[in-house]
């Protein structure tokens, strides 16, 4: 991993992205998004994860995060490990999942290619953390996160997308607790 893509200063917020292997559209199902959100909530309540902004797209997640407790890389590692196991378990058990066999095959195939895995791989390994060192960079990343669903053509306005912190920044209440940056 490049030096540019590490958590350098734990006290500063970081923009991170984590993606499903092969950019598989796993988060088209509400059940899988809920597993992810519940895991984020757990990390907020029990590990000191601070969430400033977030969006869940069909195959990736963007967040601006911070922490005052555990190192961010440990929190994200645990979050990804838990969600990976939980989502794959639900896929395996869900006979109604039309893509079940293909999804499991893809996650197992990717897992075999990576010696760090036991059976499967759901998430790509990198997070590409970028330290937000100025207000200008923070605003740019915040706008990028909130405009992702608009750019994808899913909504006309950022605050109309349920799986994002744009509602919080628009004066409403979103699905996760966030610390407003502006």
Instruction: Supply the range of the domain harboring residue 124.
Output: 3-169
Query: Is the residue at 180 inside a domain?
Result: no
Cα 26 to chain centroid, rounded: 12
Cα 63 to chain centroid, rounded: 6
At 10 the pLDDT is 74
pLDDT digits (tens, 9 = 90+) for 138-180: 999 999 999 999 999 999 999 999 999 999 999 999 999 999 9
Query: Is the residue at 177 inside a domain?
Result: no
Helix, strand, or coil (residue 65): strand
Question: How many helices (DSSP H) and strands (DSSP E) are in the chain?
Answer: 5, 4
Where residue 15 sits, what CATH number does that domain have? 3.30.70.1290
pLDDT digits (tens, 9 = 90+) for 65-98: 999 878 899 999 999 999 999 999 999 999 999 9
Helix, strand, or coil (residue 54): strand
Characterize 156-175 residue by residue with b for buried, 16 or more Cβ atoms within 10 angstroms of its Cβ, and e for exposed: eebbebebbbbbbbeeeebb
Q: What is the mean pLDDT of the chain?
A: 92
Number of domains in the chain: 1
Query: Is the residue at 182 inside a domain?
Result: no
Question: Is pLDDT at 3 greater than 70 in this prediction?
Answer: no
- Block residue for tokens 């920044």: 169
Query: Is the residue at 175 inside a domain?
Result: no
């Amino acid at each position: 991993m490049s030096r540019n893509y590490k958590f350098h200063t734990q006290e500063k917020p970081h923009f991170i992205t984590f993606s499903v292997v092969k950019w598989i559209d796993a988060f088209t199902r509400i059940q899988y998004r809920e597993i992810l959100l519940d895991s984020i909530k757990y990390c907020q309540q029990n590990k000191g994860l601070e969430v400033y902004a977030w969006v869940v797209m069909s195959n990736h997640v963007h967040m601006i995060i911070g922490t005052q407790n555990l190192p961010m890389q440990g929190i994200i590692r645990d979050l990804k490990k838990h969600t990976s196991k939980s989502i794959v378990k639900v896929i395996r058990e869900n006979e109604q999942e039309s893509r079940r066999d293909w999804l499991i095959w893809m996650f197992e195939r990717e897992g075999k290619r990576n010696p760090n895995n036991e059976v499967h791989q759901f998430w790509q390994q990198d997070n590409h953390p970028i330290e937000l060192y100025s207000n200008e960079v923070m605003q740019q990343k915040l706008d990028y996160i909130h405009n992702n669903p608009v750019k994808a053509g899913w909504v006309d306005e950022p605050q109309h997308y349920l799986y994002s912190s744009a509602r919080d920044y628009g004066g409403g209440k979103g699905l996760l607790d966030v610390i407003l940056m502006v």
